Chain A
């Protein structure tokens, strides 16, 4: 086993090892919110559980999986050992330490602030320190991806960087830009208050800084899925990638469009003016463009594969695709969820329509469909593709893996479609328990019950994932075909410099960020009258807690 392989494997173990218990928490949270009886019926435990579920899924699963995937891509797509292995292991250790610190703090009940950083409500300093280490450690990975791409370019002058490496470097850059918001918020606003150096906190500034991270981080989570769409799925289907250049353009657009749009998460906030909301709302429409182009490119790539396999007619090629290949099945299911979730996203980003669904269960449904659905199902497929090649042991079995993917797909639909409807009916999100005797709440009861069934299916799928990976892991070593990335139909011999690097795009993004975020952030420091609020420790006992509505 090559050292680089062990590196990728360790990252994936942490990712999926924590993913599985976090799914159990998610299922219990659904029971808590439903009319059904839940074990340990305690709102305080619910908020601790949401904090842990969100932290693990949104920060730990994603960061560790994407780092592991990045190391695997760098090694296999460039066809040479990764530079900076020692630094990579140090980064892994820092991230793991941060994860343990954050998780222990949440379990101790002193960090039930949910996983979004919205002061004046504050968790224990240890929670923020843990998350800070996790994000900081991942920046070593960001640097290594950039260094490895630059080193390869220097050694291969004029050659196009392989699309997979180009895309994972875009992912690393996107993460650095995205994390800048939460890192500045932690350093400038939260940590000084959590340390007790100040007792005043600017809630509006904190929310605005966090919004820089809030939207682009979802694109960071989605990037591995897009990389698999372009570089793994056409190969698994037996076709070729329709267009290499379109792939490059897509990843560049994802980088420069995903970051300067976070204010559309603040449409309902009083501290940002209508003009900047309008501008960023418009810009958000452009984020849809790379996805819409991807749908075309990938469908065309799969069509080539389907026709080669004997598919005829307008749609006959679809049936001819090898749907029993986990990667092919996963991309089909992922695109369906991306389509449904993307449709909901158009509503969220609409300046006026957002008011109907802001902070309702619709939003929870939306990001579960996009992230836990469309993105995470591709994480599974990537794991099924990578595991045998890292361990030298075949997948046991493809049939079981396909069952797992189908269960995840149906579980996610049965969970999120009722949530969407309940959200439209006004069910607020992030509430530990409802009184189903109230008529307004009672009308959502059946929907909530149905979604619990979806949760049970998701839980069974997560267990099946672990079974497939462990069974494969303890199997016998055989000869495995090395990982190969899809070739373009017409592989480019040369690509323009702008499509072979990121210097110009980073400059453009910097200008865009200054234009759309400069004033909205500067106003808190330079323009507005003093408006800071006192810090509130989340564990402080409230003066009075109402029994309910």
Chain B
């Protein structure tokens, strides 16, 4: 049978076909090259995170999901955009199956701080075409800092499965020119219908 004649099981190779010291030498060389490669990658991670101040949201800040709507930072009147001395703070609540408010306007070329929490289950917050991306876990406040170089319309889908209406949970961030933003009323800052 053709299969059997080409079957290598029938003719095992002799031991020592490669001398042990050659095995050791080549393996050691490969190991050093690979360790070097990993070290370079680690250095790149350290340098870029420090020089670009890049770090994922990790503020470990708790909140009580039961009273989230009723008291403290995330009461309804405090949601949306707030202009402060060091930029704009955007406060959002994620809940089944929408973000509240469902659209926010922010100025271009300004430091923006997003602060979010969940009123019910785990949600996700991603701004398409940016590197803004965080989980929204009930009981915790997620904080992400960013800035937008140019005006534009950014989509904001929930990116963690949150229940049977998950596919409908989309919101928007509209970036308006920097000088236009102070003229918007608080009501206009969370209403994108006219834009």
Which residues of chain A have a CB within 8 Å of any CB of chain B?
43-44, 47, 112-114, 118-121, 202-204, 207, 235-240, 242-243, 246, 266-274, 277, 281-282, 285-286, 288-289, 292-293, 296-297, 300, 304-305, 308, 322, 346, 350-352, 354-356, 358-360, 398, 425-426, 428-434, 438, 440, 481, 484, 487, 489-491, 523, 528-534, 536, 538-539, 542-549
Contacts and interface: CB of A to CB of B under 8 A. Distances in A.
Interface string B106-143: 00000000000010111010101101111111111111
Given A240-B17, A346-B41, A528-B62, A538 B164 contact: yes
Contacts of A112: 164
B12 interface: yes
B52 A352 contact: yes
Given A528-B60, A530-B62, 5 more contacts: A240-B12, A240-B17, A270-B142, A432-B167, A545-B97
Contact of A548 (B42, B48, B170): B170
Contacts of B7: 481
Interface of B: 3, 6-13, 15-18, 20, 23, 26-27, 30-31, 34-35, 37-38, 41-42, 45, 48-49, 52, 54-66, 96-98, 118, 120-122, 124, 126, 128-129, 131-143, 155, 157-172
B163 A360 contact: no
Nearest to A277: B58
Contacts of A304: 13, 17-18
Contacts of B137: 203-204, 207, 269-271
A536 B166 CA distance: 14
User: Interface centre among B27, B52, B161, by most A CB within 10 Å?
Assistant: B161
Contacts of A431: 157, 166-167
The 10 closest A-B pairs by CB, nearest first: A238-B8, A531-B139, A549-B170, A426-B128, A533-B138, A545-B165, A352-B54, A428-B159, A546-B168, A359-B159
A544 B41 CA distance: 47
Contact of B65 (A114, A426, A534): A534
A320 to B, nearest CB: 12
B156 to A, nearest CB: 9
Contacts of A543: 96
A389 B105 CA distance: 67
Given A489-B23, A546-B97, A440 B139 contact: no
A120 B23 contact: no
Contacts of A539: 164
A351 B43 CA distance: 12
B56 A548 contact: no
Contact of A47 (B13, B126, B160, B164): B164
B57 to A, nearest CB: 5
A235 to B, nearest CB: 7
A440 to B, nearest CB: 5
B159 A360 contact: yes
A268 B128 contact: no
Contacts of A354: 56
20 contacts: A119-B121, A121-B122, A270-B57, A270-B59, A270-B60, A271-B140, A304-B18, A351-B45, A354-B56, A355-B131, A359-B124, A432-B166, A484-B9, A487-B12, A490-B16, A491-B15, A546-B169, A547-B168, A548-B167, A549-B157
A426 B157 CA distance: 9
Contacts of A273: 58, 60
B56 A533 contact: no
B60 A426 contact: no
Given A490-B23, A542-B97, A285 B138 contact: no
A539 B163 CA distance: 8
A242 B18 contact: yes
A398 B138 CA distance: 54
Given A112-B164, A118-B122, A204-B137, A289 B35 contact: yes
A359 B166 contact: no
Contacts of B122: 118, 120-121, 203, 207
User: Interface centre among A47, A350, A359, A534, by most B CB within 10 Å?
Assistant: A359
Contacts of A114: 161
Given A270-B59, A533-B65, A545-B165, A350 B45 contact: yes
Contacts of B135: 207, 266, 268-270, 359
A497 B10 CA distance: 33
Nearest to B3: A398
A531 B55 contact: no
A289 B172 CA distance: 42
A242 B23 contact: yes
A549 B98 CA distance: 10
A360 B126 contact: yes
B141 to A, nearest CB: 6
A263 to B, nearest CB: 10
